[in-house]
Amino acid sequence: MIVFRLFSILTFCFLVLSFEGIAQKKQFKVVCVGFYNLENLFDTIDHVDVNDVEFTPNGSKAWTYDKYSDKLFRLAEVISQIGTDISPDGPAILGVSEIENRGVLEDLAKQPAIASRRYQIVHYDSPDFRGIDVALLYNPKYYRLLESRSIPVNLPNIDGLPLITRDVLYTKGILDGDTVHIMVNHWPSRRGGEASTRALRSGCARLNREIADSLRTLNPFAKIIIMGDLNDDPDNESVAVVLEGKAKMELVEPHQFFNPFYTPFKKGLGSNAYQDAWSLFDQVLVSHGFIAKDAMGYKFYKSGTFNKPFMQTKSGRYKGYPFRTFDGDTYMSGYSDHFPSYIVLIKG
């Protein structure tokens, strides 16, 4: 039986694991890394270069400053609690999607519930027609950014024209001495049908795989995290075949990934729901460098989907679903239509 005790030493929270029959206690550093689809975090301004008119005071959603402020407050409430059972600072690194621009993240980071963490932002504008992007928030207490870039997805759409979608966000940084590479994704939706759009998500997976393979050419034990709203489940082709996201750590070879959300998905866990069916589109995969027995530094410990009762719809047909911001154009004063996913890394 593993008993957890949490306490802070200097700038890190240490996890003490006590094993029955073993008097000696070992101390571990622990960090939480997560991903959260923020469901259309738009400001109230009509920007001429993106199709955001519905998210303006005069638009179909009557998106006012009060509603925007309420959504920021609620998102910060969620982020403030993710992973705090293992670290008071919550996510050291948090990938996000469906954000309009850097400004909305600056407003989010200033929210009282998380302002003390001083989250830094990595963001680039993507070519998405609706103007939604991916980004990374990181706590400089844990992660020191070395470099970042936005990597375009160059694929033909199902109509043969160039695919206009979110870029892949790549960052490289130092996590308490470990060099960690992170790719944040928001792959094309299933609009038009899962089968007809499958190749688009597999193409995005292939791009991530090519980036990862190039990193592993330089270092076979490279520590790589692929996260995002993949619009595919762990057992779909893009994740299970192209990325080779495996369900069991002991089966992962050096060129493959461990997907800690595969088994929970098969047991019925979901991060989003549609037409009375649960999906687990929000995933965080780790490279072999995080699970190899002889690897040094941070290793994978556990994963979870953050789905506390306050984030769930309380009644009706959608009881238990994520409590979302809008139902059509009706403001629900909710959080997001996705639950966040996260992993825990430990270092002895």
Q: Tens of pLDDT along 207-228?
A: 999 999 999 999 999 999 999 9
Q: How far is CA 19 from the centre of its chain?
A: 32
When mean pLDDT is compared across 95-99, 244-248, 282-286, 294-298, the lowest value belongs to 294-298
DSSP state at residue 163 = P
Average pLDDT of the chain is 92
Q: Which residues contact 239 (CB under 8 A, 6 or more apart)?
A: 205, 230, 232, 233, 245, 259, 283, 285
Of the pLDDT bands very low, low, confident and very high (cuts 50, 70, 90), residue 12 is very low
One-letter amino acid identity for 141? K
Span 110-167, pLDDT tens digits: 999 999 999 999 999 999 988 999 999 999 999 999 999 999 999 999 899 999 999 9
Element (H, E) at 76: helix 65-79
Is the pLDDT at 7 greater than 50, yes or no? no
Instruction: Please give the pLDDT value at position 37.
Output: 98
CA separation for the pair 5, 342 (Å, rounded): 20
Instruction: Please give the pLDDT value at position 26.
Output: 64
One-letter amino acid identity for 116? S
Residue pair 183/199 in contact (Cβ under 8 Å)? The answer is no
CA separation for the pair 228, 26 (Å, rounded): 33
Domains and CATH numbers, the chain: 3-347 (3.60.10.10)
Q: How many residues does the chain have?
A: 348
Is the pLDDT at 326 greater than 60, yes or no? yes
Of the pLDDT bands very low, low, confident and very high (cuts 50, 70, 90), residue 24 is very low
Is the pLDDT at 9 greater than 90, yes or no? no
